[in-house]
Amino acid sequence: MQLALVAGAFGVTLAAARGRGPWAGWSCAAGGAWRGRTGLAALPVAAAGLVVALAAIGMAGLALWSVSFAWRWPDPWPQSLSLRAWRDVGRWSGAVGQTLLIAAVSTGLALVTAVAWLDSGDRVGRRGQGGWLRAVIHVPLLLPQLSFLIGLAGMMIHAPIGPLAAVIWGHWLFVFPYVMIALAGPWAALDPRLDRSAAALGAGPWRRLWRVKLPVLMAPVATAAAVGFAVSVAQYLPTLFLGGGRIATLTTEAVALSSGSDRRVAAVHAVLQAALPWGVFLAALALPAWAHRHRRALKGAA
């Protein structure tokens, strides 16, 4: 049933994008009605700002819950504050370590795979990036996670690998498509004259990759890594199914603690779950800017 719903929604979207069916005329008419209305163009920006504001309010509420000692209804503010939940490092340090390890390894593997894929496409004239092979990458994003992971979990029963390796592999399956989506556009927009000039000077394919392409694309690569890291941190079902409940991450612990009675501990895990991707995104913005601080043309290129 889930697969049928996803296939139907995907078919409607594809038909509308190609301008077929009854939705095509409606979308064209709606597009014509929007032309010339510059005020309406600000609606998506306002909606995005509203989402960011709601997320910030939610994060502030979680942070407040993590330090509240007694907060009874209907008091607008906690009666007392305490760092007891944060001081109990043993309750959340293990989940933080597992989360960092799984996210770092799966994102690193996804980056290596994506760069190898895109660079090999350059060497063969980008033939390897189109057709059915490119579509296969997005299969984990199109199929419902539950039905997809049940089959993977059954396969892992007979696989000679441990639960941690299985979880890393499962995270890689979902991180790799997002890394490819984030990196494929900037890679295709890279000026091919840079590569040709390096080749004319005698640089081989590997040297051109390490000394020309990757330094120029440092900001997009860092952004793709941050996206992949965030996707890995948020994975719940792959960790639960492929790890067999033996791998504890911030996401699995936050979900388990959300139904408990100690909201402070649950809030600590939720804050850490959100803080790790934010820190990586900030690093993805800061590191390329620092590395390219003496190169004006490369500053802020993402």
Q: Which tens digits make up the pLDDT trace of 143-160?
A: 778 777 887 887 777 778
| pLDDT recorded at residue 301 | 47
Asked if the model's pLDDT at residue 181 lies above 80, the reply is yes
Asked if the model's pLDDT at residue 12 lies above 80, the reply is no
| pLDDT recorded at residue 156 | 79
223 — pLDDT class (breaks 50, 70, 90): very high
Half-sphere exposure of 70 (CA within 13 A, CB side): 2
* 3-state helix, strand and coil shares in percent for the chain, rounded to the nearest 5: 75, 0, 20
More confident residue, 213 or 140: 213
Q: What percent of the chain has pLDDT over 70?
A: 82
More confident residue, 43 or 168: 168
Taking only the tens place, the pLDDT of each residue in 41-52 is 678 888 888 988
More confident residue, 57 or 104: 104
How far apart are alpha carbons 50 and 15 in whole angstroms?
A: 31
How far apart are alpha carbons 158 and 174 in whole angstroms?
A: 22
| Two structure tokens written together for 165 | 């390796």
Helix (H) or strand (E) holding 69: strand 68-70
Region 95-105 average pLDDT: 95
Helix (H) or strand (E) holding 20: none
More confident residue, 206 or 105: 105
| pLDDT recorded at residue 231 | 96
Region 71-99 average pLDDT: 84
- pTM exceeds cut of 0.85: no
Region 240-257 average pLDDT: 89
**88 forms bridges with which residues in the sheet?**
none
Q: 202 — phi, psi (to 5°)?
A: 100, 5
Quick check: 266 and 258 in contact, CB under 8 A? yes
Quick check: 66 and 86 in contact, CB under 8 A? yes
| pLDDT recorded at residue 235 | 93
| pLDDT recorded at residue 302 | 44
Asked if the model's pLDDT at residue 127 lies above 80, the reply is no
